[in-house]
Structure 1
Amino acid sequence: MINQNILSLKQSSTLLINEKVKELRTKGREVSHFGFGQSPFPIHASIVAALRENAENNHYLPVAGLEELREEIVLFLKKHQNIKTTKESIFIGPGSKELLYQSILIFDADFLIPKGSWVSYIPQIQAKGGTYHILDTNFENDFKLTAHNLETFFKNKSPKKQTVLILNSPNNPTGAIYSKEEYKALAVVCYRYNTVVFSDEIYSQINFSQGYSPSISEHYPEKTIVFGGLSKVFSAGGYRLGYMMLPQEMQPLQNVYKSLFSETFSCVSSPIQFAAIKAFEYHPNLQNHVAISSAILKSISEFIFKELSAIKIECTKSEGAFYMLIGFNRYKSAILKLGISGSFELANYVLENYDFAMLPGVDFGFEKEELFFRIAFVDFNGKKIMDAYKLNEIMGAAFLQQHAPNVFLGVEKIKEFVISLKA
């Protein structure tokens, strides 16, 4: 008999859309792929060289991770994210996604998920038979959770269990970033209700205005667990290495985590951990590499925002990562005439009829009738666009049409769809 919690899960929406697009492209369809969020930029040569140099290392490493790597992450967090910790507080796992899931397994809690959150948080909670609540957010605030809305939840619900709030900034799916002031206000409420925070900071350095994004752990260090990794900032999703940082107050959980890790993934691949040391040393050349990628993503997000806002599509203002939420709610009556009432159906309609792939808001905690969609604007050759950017840092429409043709064409396809609704 299969565990019913597992049986009710579907394949990850992001991976599913990626497979669907690949299938359509093999049939000759020219699909603009805005559905899958993988960094398009090349991994830095220094990280690849470190992996190559350690390829023959076939030893099992400590369950918590390679000591030298954990020491380097401590320095990285202090220097590049303004977070102070110790190597004993750092744990290495096969991706931050896995570390988040292991943490969800460990905590017997009610989980709080802001509307407009990453697709895997809720399925991971469902997999263990856990309980969760979707917290209200709104478009006017780019779907960031406010202290007022969090306070309102506690006043209305009065949870009997420990609560765990999962926050993600820069945010997937909106691209929004919480400011220090917003985090300070949220920290006050979390402290008042003794709430644990899982702070997903996997995109921290992909920030369009500064070198890193604020962390709520600065304002609520007692009960904030920070998660990060290689996949987004360092363009190394396939390396599958993440880290988590336990706060000082939760150090008694070290053995709990080690026990669970030892009975599941044991340890992360040895060569990958040695290569990760080079990544988290974050030398100036690598910092420049990340800064250039962020500048390119910023220009692309601004282009999309301008073009889609002009035709009255709702757009969140992306400040980091490589996502934006767009909404067709102003065209609901015309879309209803197509026989479509939900975001899932509309995403399929646009893919089949306009060769544009996006993910429906229902996968991110929205009601199915809310016509919001995540777009990931990374369907381009990262190396080629980086080379072109270094020669000419002006990135207008003509530059994008030449060096990110799928992104440019995708925006044109959305315009075409909207024009058809007006006809």
Structure 2
Amino acid sequence: MSTSTPSHSQAAQTAAAAADSIFRPEDAVLPQLHTLATSIIRSFDTEASAIEGMLKLTLGEPDFATPDFIKEAALRSLANNRTHYAPNAGTPGLRQAISDYLARRRSLHFPAEDIIVTEGASEAISSVLTALLHPGAVLLYATPAFGLYANVAKLIGVESIAIDTESTDFILTPDALDAALRSIRGRDAVLVLNSPNNPTGVTLNEAQLQGLAEVVERHAVTVLSDEVYAEISYDERPAPSIAQFAPDRTIVVDSASKSYAMTGWRLGFFAAPHNLAAQLAKVHQIHVSTAAMFTMDAAQTAYEQGDASIDLMVETYRNRRDYLVDSLVGLGYDIVRPTGAFYTYVHVPDEFDGSSFDYARLMAREAKVAGVPGEAFVDGPSRYFRFSYAASSDDLHEAVARLRRFRNR
């Protein structure tokens, strides 16, 4: 008796059934997700938190409470049942308040129709980069830098170029930018500019920004200016913006989080040139639809009435900066003196043989003081770590006392 062999279709069905039986949903995610690491800032903060008695100078989280007049505005909004869907781009009142604030405080002139309210600055950055980084485009950013920019590029699947600024005192120079743009001539580019900078606290002045703007105008590049720390500036108040010099090329991203101690409210915005704003708004609508109406009402009050609150907090940050910087220098640390934000970037002592991760772990274990390893802000090993002085004066004094014992051990 002859033995029949399975038909081609039967074999295909059998193979498909076998494949289905071993299918794992985790294998179906975007391949680039496997190359994305979780935030080192958050993961190291969690690691340090497990040590009893830890004093953390890790997160960029203002220790101030949201001012009462802003919270009261939210309560009024809730009492008036402002709990339904808001317009996708934001309430007209908030968009106008932001427009007026930018003109009043920052000498930036964006009409309300070109301002899109987002779920914090992180969503604004993600939505803008998603819209601009088409296949073949390139993301450029200066390092050290907040990790979100490169991660969005990886997620989208486009090339990114990190411009190292350590040799120029952590300042992006026109020559370095021009060289990077020349290397990708013929391709569209997006430049992310973060000033004041996280993690260094370095703030670009008007002359430096004008020099960068002149380079931008010669190339096919759009600028995303991340200005979440613009109000927390010590030499020029607030920090200047490249949008003052290249307004037709610049999208400004900001939020209420740092300026008004509203991190948990998740309320940000981007302001864009008129011919871009409506297109970028489509991506925001797809990503989150809209922010919550009562948080928009609270933010409207902040932007309308919050100037004095900003100034008070910034003066407090200035005093904390001066104390921490002077103390660290007195302990023998080499630091990048911050002119904005609420971070100081500290060099690992030369006598220590290891990475910033190694030093941060040693410092956490022996001094019970936590900073963020510099590996969170560069691709590869680092010899720096970041301290946040968005902490109480008592905590900063205690941190210095612990570090003094640690350095003298």
Task: Tell me if TM exceeds 0.5.
Answer: yes
**Which secondary structure state, in structure 2, belongs to the residue aligned with residue 414 of structure 1?**
helix
- 2:405 is the alignment partner of 1:410: no
Tell me if the contact between 2:187 and 2:220 (Cα under 8 Å) persists in the aligned partners: no
Which residue does the alignment assign to 2:333?
Answer: 313
Which residue does the alignment assign to 1:258?
Answer: 281
Which residue does the alignment assign to 1:356?
Answer: 369
Tell me if the contact between 1:32 and 1:407 (Cα under 8 Å) persists in the aligned partners: no
In 2: Cα distance, 1:188 partner to 1:211 partner: 23
Which residue, 199, 209, 214 being the options, matches 1:183? 209
Tell me if the contact between 2:213 and 2:246 (Cα under 8 Å) persists in the aligned partners: yes
Which residue does the alignment assign to 1:82?
Answer: 107
Tell me if the contact between 2:66 and 2:260 (Cα under 8 Å) persists in the aligned partners: yes
**TM-score normalised per structure 2:** 0.87
CA displacement, residues 159-214 of structure 1 (integer Å, 9 cap, x when unaligned):
44211111111111111111000000011111111321110111111122443110
Which residue, 386, 391, 405 being the options, matches 1:374? 386
**Which secondary structure state, in structure 1, belongs to the residue aligned with residue 364 of structure 2?**
helix
Shift of 1:273: 0.8
CA displacement, residues 290-310 of structure 1 (integer Å, 9 cap, x when unaligned):
212111211211122222223
Which residue does the alignment assign to 2:358?
Answer: 345
* Amino acid aligned to 1:130: V
Tell me if the contact between 1:361 and 1:367 (Cα under 8 Å) persists in the aligned partners: no
**TM-score normalised per structure 1:** 0.85
Which residue does the alignment assign to 2:346?
Answer: 326
In 1: Cα distance, 2:151 partner to 2:30 partner: 14
- 2:149 is the alignment partner of 1:121: yes
In 2: Cα distance, 1:238 partner to 1:139 partner: 36
Tell me if the contact between 1:313 and 1:330 (Cα under 8 Å) persists in the aligned partners: no
Shift of 1:140: 5.6
Which residue does the alignment assign to 2:131?
Answer: 106
Aligned-pair identity in percent equals: 23
Trace 1:282-301 onto structure 2 (pairs within 5 A): 283=305, 286-301=306-321
**Which secondary structure state, in structure 2, belongs to the residue aligned with residue 325 of structure 1?**
strand
In 2: Cα distance, 1:150 partner to 1:342 partner: 28
- Judging changes above 3 Å, is the alpha-carbon distance between structure 1 residues 366 and 6 closer, same or farther for their aligned structure 2 residues? closer
**Which secondary structure state, in structure 2, belongs to the residue aligned with residue 54 of structure 1?**
helix
Tell me if the contact between 2:260 and 2:309 (Cα under 8 Å) persists in the aligned partners: no
Shift of 1:258: 3.1
In 1: Cα distance, 2:281 partner to 2:214 partner: 31
Which residue, 255, 260, 266 being the options, matches 1:240? 266
Which residue does the alignment assign to 2:30?
Answer: 3
In 2: Cα distance, 1:256 partner to 1:277 partner: 24
TM-align CA RMSD: 1.8
**How many residues are treated as equivalent by the alignment?**
377
Which residue does the alignment assign to 2:196?
Answer: 170
* Amino acid aligned to 2:333: I
**Which secondary structure state, in structure 1, belongs to the residue aligned with residue 287 of structure 2?**
coil
In 2: Cα distance, 1:415 partner to 1:113 partner: 36
**Which secondary structure state, in structure 1, belongs to the residue aligned with residue 37 of structure 2?**
coil
Trace 1:23-38 onto structure 2 (pairs within 5 A): 23-24=50-51, 29-38=52-61
Shift of 1:139: 5.8
- Judging changes above 3 Å, is the alpha-carbon distance between structure 1 residues 37 and 162 closer, same or farther for their aligned structure 2 residues? same
Shift of 1:138: 2.2
**Which secondary structure state, in structure 2, belongs to the residue aligned with residue 127 of structure 1?**
helix
Structure possessing the higher radius of gyration over alpha carbons: 2
Larger mean CA deviation between 255-264 and 214-223 belongs to 255-264
Which residue does the alignment assign to 1:147?
Answer: 174
In 1: Cα distance, 2:180 partner to 2:168 partner: 19
Shift of 1:242: 0.4
* Amino acid aligned to 2:241: S
CA displacement, residues 253-277 of structure 1 (integer Å, 9 cap, x when unaligned):
3443233223221100111011111
Tell me if the contact between 1:183 and 1:215 (Cα under 8 Å) persists in the aligned partners: yes
